[in-house]
Amino acid sequence: MARIIIIGAGITGVTSAYALLERGHEVTLVERLRYPAMETSFANGGQLSASNAEVWNSIATIAKGMRWIFRADAPLLFSLRPSLHKYSWLGEFLAAIRSHRANTVETTRLAIAARHHLFDIAEREGIDFDLSRCGILHFYREPASFTQARRGNALLREGGLERDEVSPQEIARIEPTLHGDFCGGFFTPSDSTGDIHKFTTGLAEACMRRGAKFLFGGDVSGFDLRSGGVSVRLRKDGAEERIEGDAVMVCAGVASHKLAAMLGDRANIYPVKGYSITVLLGDDASRAAAPRVSLLDEDAKIVTSRLGEDRFRVAGTAEFNGFNRDIRADRIQPLTTWSERHFPHMSTRQVVPWAGLRPMTPTMMPIVGPGRHSRIFYNTGHGHLGWTLSAITAELAAEHLEKGLSGDIAPGH
């Protein structure tokens, strides 16, 4: 048994805590905010989507991005302001085009493997998170992007995903509330949706019941590394504190980049901002007019999830603009307009806007494994798929940690 300090109580930190508790370790989780899941794991798109596993490192995505760059309401916004981190990240993103196939296939495998872990945890711990095994429908307006998507679909199939092409008539049958002219799409019945904030909060409570200690309001500010352990410095309630552990697991989302630098590691994570709206379905007509199946509009890069009876989540946009967390009205409006166009009988009278920063690596692969120091481990950098992947990467990170510490820690320590 080892004493593990986890940094960050988003989905990656809390699933890591659970995986380590299951293996019999003692867990202390430090979170700088007052509650779990208040940053990127708060109001995301809700999709548990192996069908969205294709990494963005491709010539086709770059070409699309170049067209979007000059459109004010485009799904991509790239601030040209100079930033060494942003441009070096971009250089590595371009270099990873050569790994597009391998990384897409691997992400698909991980996303499929994650499903049963997540469902098992929720069932074992009795977590209600508005899970819906509704499947995900991808649809296209432009024939050229549909043709391109068939190539991506072959990679998803190589990764083990069953995903069928559907005609415009089948789209209408699968989701009758959806209005619009589409040339075709893909349907993945095995994908699902759920509320990441409800799940993470429920799992944090389960971890506490199992003996984990949560230090909320604790902002990690430094480390002292020794051969036999780690001492973590933090600021809590205006005072400096220090906690001792056998190992540290960094799960700090977009802040992992800075923390890794303090630890002598490089975790090249850039904050890629996205937005969501949660439409509150306050009347029977709106509840009937909002979709049940989860959607991905590939041309607008918008995802949707029905969260229970009364909420409809719509998310999108990739904004490269540093750590700015402002909720911009001109980025929220396209999500509302899109919802009104495709679900004209659903009221958008009550809409809750949100913005979050995706912790994105240039390869779009999460960082899971040991750092340079034998007592430092990472489970971070999950980008646009953290909800989908965390249940499996937590298992993998826990395995790495046990392997790394094996022989190094006395039994029963």
Asked whether position 41 contacts ligand FAD by CB under 6 A, the answer is yes
Strand partners, 302: 297, 316
Kindly tell me which residue out of 384, 393, 404, 409 binds ligand FAD, with binding defined by CB under 6 A.
384
Kindly tell me which residue out of 46, 75, 202, 404 binds ligand FAD, with binding defined by CB under 6 A.
46
In the three-class reduction of DSSP (H, G, I as helix; E, B as strand; rest coil), residue 18 is classed as helix
Asked whether position 108 contacts ligand FAD by CB under 6 A, the answer is no
Q: How many residues bind ligand FAD (CB under 6 A)?
A: 44
- Which of 41, 103 has the CB closer to ligand FAD? 41
Kindly tell me which residue out of 2, 9, 50, 367 binds ligand FAD, with binding defined by CB under 6 A.
9
Contact window for ligand FAD (CB under 6 A) among 38-46, 58-66, 148-156, 324-332: 38-46
- Minimum CB–partner distance for residue 355 and ligand FAD (Å): 7
- Minimum CB–partner distance for residue 407 and ligand FAD (Å): 30
| Cα separations in angstroms, 240 against 8, 36, 217, 218, 397 | 18, 22, 12, 9, 29
Axis crossing angle, helix 100-125 with helix 196-209, rounded to the nearest 10? 60
At 201, list the tokens.
């909060």
Asked whether position 184 contacts ligand FAD by CB under 6 A, the answer is no
- Which of 343, 387 has the CB closer to ligand FAD? 387
Cα angle for residues 159, 161, 15 (degrees, 5° grid) = 80
Contact window for ligand FAD (CB under 6 A) among 41-49, 55-63, 148-156, 222-230: 41-49
Tell me which amino acid residue 265 is. Answer: D
Cα angle for residues 194, 197, 200 (degrees, 5° grid) = 95
Burial tier of 72 (Cβ tally within 10 Å: 0-12, 13-18, 19+)? exposed
- Which of 61, 278 has the CB closer to ligand FAD? 278
- Distance from C-alpha of 46 to C-alpha of 130, rounded to nearest angstrom: 10
- Distance from C-alpha of 246 to C-alpha of 252, rounded to nearest angstrom: 19
Tell me which amino acid residue 223 is. Answer: F
φ/ψ (deg, to 5) at 360: -110, 130
- Minimum CB–partner distance for residue 283 and ligand FAD (Å): 26
Per-residue mark of binding to ligand FAD, 278-307 (x: CB under 6 A): -------------------------x----
Kindly tell me which residue out of 346, 385, 391, 396 binds ligand FAD, with binding defined by CB under 6 A.
385
The full DSSP string for 278-301 is EEE--SHHHHHHS-SSEEEETTTT
Interface residues toward ligand FAD, by CB under 6 A: 7-13, 30-33, 38-41, 44-47, 49, 196, 218-220, 251-253, 255, 274-276, 303, 315, 356, 358-359, 380, 382-388
